[in-house]
Amino acid sequence: MVARLARRRMWRRSGVWLTSIFVVVCTPAYAHGFGLRYDLPLPLILWIIGGALTVLLSFLVVSIGVRLNPRMAAPVQLNLLRWKVSKVVTGQATRFIARLFAVGALIVIVVAGIIGDQIPTRNLAPTAIWIAWWVGFSYLSALIGNVWCVINPWAALFEWYEQALPIQSAWRGARIGWPKHLGVWPATALFIVFAWVELVWDGRSIPSQLARLAIGFSVLTWIGMYLFGRNTWLRHGDPFALAFSVLARFAPTEMHVERRWILRPPGTGLLDTKNVTPSLVVFVLVMLSTVTFDGLMATPLWQRIENTLYEGLPALGNFRLAIINTLGLLSFCAIFIAVYRAVATLVASASQKSMTVDAASRAFVLTLVPIAIAYLVAHYSSYFLIQGQLLIRLASDPFGFEWNIFGSAHFRPNIGIVGARFTWYTSLFAIVVGHVIAVSLAHIIALRNIADPRAAMRSQIPMLVLMVAYTMVSLWIIAQPIVE
């Protein structure tokens, strides 16, 4: 078994891997490596130091350049619904068509997973779920707005179900009040389960297994909506609705269906921290820690740790690898939460009693969202651009039945569309810019919450140290599958 594990690691790093991914397996956890080593034009340590200095310099520039009182400076916003064209885009007819398409796609994906060819690259389910849905809507949410809240097929089906019943009907739902102490803990727990499925579970690329998970999630979601109400469940219990909404706080638009469609400076939504709860703090940290652990799993360091533990734990049998990676995932979540709590304690201490530790943790956690977005770009951009091309072929043959509905069933993905060089520079830019934005937002929030500008500046030193250290670690993690 150890020999097979070693061969699997070598296979990931071999030159054949990038081509074989299209005919063997569709597995998101293995999507960030490249077959051939890429030699950086400068030593890696210089890139890491340069990234750290850029974040440090941005803090100095922001601290000097922000002269206006943030409490008084409201961001410029524009309601796009002032124009008729925008009203057509967000109108009931357009929304209905989009939701109908989303519901149809959900049904096709589940049916394909159950009755279709079980080779992952010949079945629509794995590619549609991991690329079009998870990665695609993460990008849409962060860079455009919360499109998911408009077309969510589970919410659409339940809303149509409610509309089909009389208002007085008992079948519309029990409407149990959501316990305040629960916060978004259910969504947080479900997101950890989702991360485990994506990063650890061996069945993550098997169409039938994914279809069963989709059915189970559907049942859970509709029961939650029935008991607590559709909107309540989406805000507190649905991990994906919550994740996309958190990412959408960074987006340049804010969507309020049929009421407002606001155009705003990117990142503005992250400055609104009044509704941040302790459970949402943990949710954001879990999002960031799981995507960072995803990157760590592709490094030689983790492979050595994994191999050492694998050889040292023979009593766990065939479950050794899953248990090791599960413990690693949970440990990463716990480490991120503990480190952030320690930083929040230092921030509160430096604020001259202007903020408590809990207040500091709630105030600054959303400033980490740009870093999560940067990681999504760094980890998934090459995966999205290369393996996402499979959707062109699968659109014509979603079940693997040799159909050719749209004439694209014989399309061959272009694996040369991106390479290690493109991935490195894209990742470098995303990581550094994400941390710079995070530092800038944190400084603005500090000035809003701490009356004394000098105390506000001192309070940001722990956050700055965290950002600089995280930048260095991030660039090292991103570089390993490319340069090693």
Query: Can you read off the two tokens belonging to residue 217?
Result: 């999630």
Measured between alpha carbons, how far apart are the two ends of the chain, in Å? 24
Task: Read off the pLDDT of residues 336-376 as tens digits, 9 standing for 90 and up.
Answer: 999 999 999 999 998 887 889 999 999 999 999 999 999 89
Find the mean pLDDT for residues 271-291.
93
> Where is pLDDT greater, at 101 or 36?
101
- Can you say how many angstroms the Cα of residue 376 is from the centroid of all Cα atoms in its chain? 6
Residue 203 confidence (pLDDT) above 60: yes
Model confidence band, residue 87 (pLDDT cutoffs 50, 70, 90): low
User: Is residue 235 within 8 Å of 279, Cβ to Cβ?
Assistant: no
Look at residue 421 in the predicted model and tell me its pLDDT.
Answer: 81
- Helix axis angle, 153-163 to 207-228, nearest 10°: 40
Residue 42 confidence (pLDDT) above 50: yes
> Where is pLDDT greater, at 262 or 248?
248
**Which residue carries 């916003």 as its tokens?**
77
User: What is the chain's mean pLDDT, rounded?
Assistant: 84
Look at residue 63 in the predicted model and tell me its pLDDT.
Answer: 74
Look at residue 86 in the predicted model and tell me its pLDDT.
Answer: 61
Residue 225, CA distances (Å) to 3, 157, 221, 457 in order: 48, 11, 6, 45
Look at residue 12 in the predicted model and tell me its pLDDT.
Answer: 39
- Can you say how many angstroms the Cα of residue 177 is from the centroid of all Cα atoms in its chain? 29
Look at residue 322 in the predicted model and tell me its pLDDT.
Answer: 92
Look at residue 38 in the predicted model and tell me its pLDDT.
Answer: 59
Residue 291 confidence (pLDDT) above 50: yes
Residues above pLDDT 70, as percent of the chain? 84
Instruction: For residues 272 and 249, give the distance between their C-alpha atoms in angstroms, rounded to a whole number.
Output: 9
Model confidence band, residue 3 (pLDDT cutoffs 50, 70, 90): very low
pTM exceeding the 0.75 threshold for the entire prediction: yes
Q: Which residues contact 388 (CB under 8 A, 6 or more apart)?
A: 127, 131, 132, 135, 136
User: Is residue 396 within 8 Å of 408, Cβ to Cβ?
Assistant: yes
Look at residue 31 in the predicted model and tell me its pLDDT.
Answer: 41
Look at residue 117 in the predicted model and tell me its pLDDT.
Answer: 94
Model confidence band, residue 155 (pLDDT cutoffs 50, 70, 90): very high
* CA torsion angle 155 156 159 161 (round to 10): -110
Task: Read off the pLDDT of residues 56-77 as tens digits, 9 standing for 90 and up.
Answer: 888 888 777 665 444 445 566 6
Query: Can you read off the two tokens belonging to residue 179?
Result: 């316990």
Residue 15 confidence (pLDDT) above 90: no
Task: Read off the pLDDT of residues 394-411 as tens digits, 9 standing for 90 and up.
Answer: 999 999 999 999 999 999
Task: Read off the pLDDT of residues 164-202 as tens digits, 9 standing for 90 and up.
Answer: 887 777 677 777 889 989 999 999 999 999 999 999 999
* CA torsion angle 425 462 270 190 (round to 10): 80
195: enclosing H helix or E strand: helix 185-199
Find the mean pLDDT for residues 468-472.
89
Residue 303 confidence (pLDDT) above 80: yes
